[in-house]
Amino acid sequence: MKPLEGKVALVTGASRGIGRAIALRFASEGARICVNYSQSMNSAEVVVKEIEDSGGEAIARKANVANYNEVADMVAIIVKKFGTIHILVNNAGMSIPGDLLSMNEAQLLEMFRVNVLGTINCSKVAARQMVDQRYGKIVNIGSIAGIGTNFPGTTPYASTKASILVLTKRFALELGPSGVNVNSILPGFIETEMNTRGKTKEEWSNKTKEMSEKAMLRRIGQPQDIANAAVFLASDEASFITGQSLVIDGGRLDFLSHSG
Ligand code: NAP
């Protein structure tokens, strides 16, 4: 039997990048999927079509994760269509550069709304269903930025991702007695639009080289690297793991701490 056979999963921000890879992988492992997006409808529908073409079942649903009512409507539609929700991946996120001295309050609040409030909204609504059925898996996508990297221009983003670490532990503490596992994945530098946007081919090639040199494995990550771990954490293979954060960065954080 496939590890996610018969399961229903909501993957937020699944129209591209890491979320897309997770949605496709979960579907190939037997789950029925809600592909959430906030703006990129066409891309989300392409993901649904890819899943259907491979024999899976999926719907695309627009909802700004920062808007509680939109999230509640989305989960209600999932439950109506698929009967329940077993797995939530809080992946939707954004990154706006900034440092302490240049930090823009409106941008900081917008990032908190999407990265932190979005995670809270989706978890709150999905957890009600999970607690009732005494089964659920929540996987939060944090970042190694939340632990501490020296990457310039990521101070406001890092503060939102640091919140994911503590929320993962608090949600795990609150929901554990009801049979709900909550864990997070902390990706390193991954090849997605979040990082490629606005760069020429040459700039991206230089960035790839620069970031590869920072990791023990001497490469940057691919969305699939994150999807591989997400399947494990969302499956019953990980049923005794909760409140944990798994770093997937090719050995970048440890490389930093070993540097001269
Ligand atoms: P991406 O390529 O920019 O994709 C972001 C996704 O989130 C898109 O599907 C986007 O869809 C969706 N989204 C954005 N705001 C949303 C909102 N308010 N409501 C619902 N969906 C929303 O980014 P990515 O690199 O795949 O990042 C995915 C997650 O991994 C994020 O949480 C990010 O912080 C984290 N992460 C990424 C890296 C990396 O190096 N790429 C490293 C560490 C952590 P729409 O266009 O429809 O809004």
User: Residue 133: its pLDDT value, please?
Assistant: 98
Q: Which of 37, 68, 135, 157 is catalytic?
A: 157
User: Residue 259: its pLDDT value, please?
Assistant: 64
User: Residue 192: its pLDDT value, please?
Assistant: 98
C-beta of 93 in contact with ligand 1 (< 6 A)? yes
Closest atom of ligand 1 relative to the 66 alpha carbon: 18
3-state helix, strand, coil in the chain (%, to 5): 55, 15, 30
User: Residue 151: its pLDDT value, please?
Assistant: 84
Consecutive H or E run containing 144: none
Pocket residue to mutate for ligand 1, from 34, 38, 46, 160, most atoms within 8 A of Cβ: 38
Burial class (CB in 10 A: 0-12, 13-18, 19+), 107: middle
Annotated catalytic residue 157: yes
Report all structural domains of the chain as residue ranges with CATH numbers, in order of start.
8-248 (3.40.50.720)
3-state secondary structure of 103: coil
User: Residue 117: its pLDDT value, please?
Assistant: 98
C-beta of 12 in contact with ligand 1 (< 6 A)? yes
Instruction: Look up the pTM and report it.
Output: 0.98
Query: How many Å apart are CA 35 and CA 73, to the nearest integer?
Result: 14
Across the 260 residues of the chain, what is the mean pLDDT of every consecutive 10-residue run? Answer: 97 98 98 98 98 98 98 98 98 95 93 98 98 98 93 92 98 98 98 96 97 96 98 98 98 79
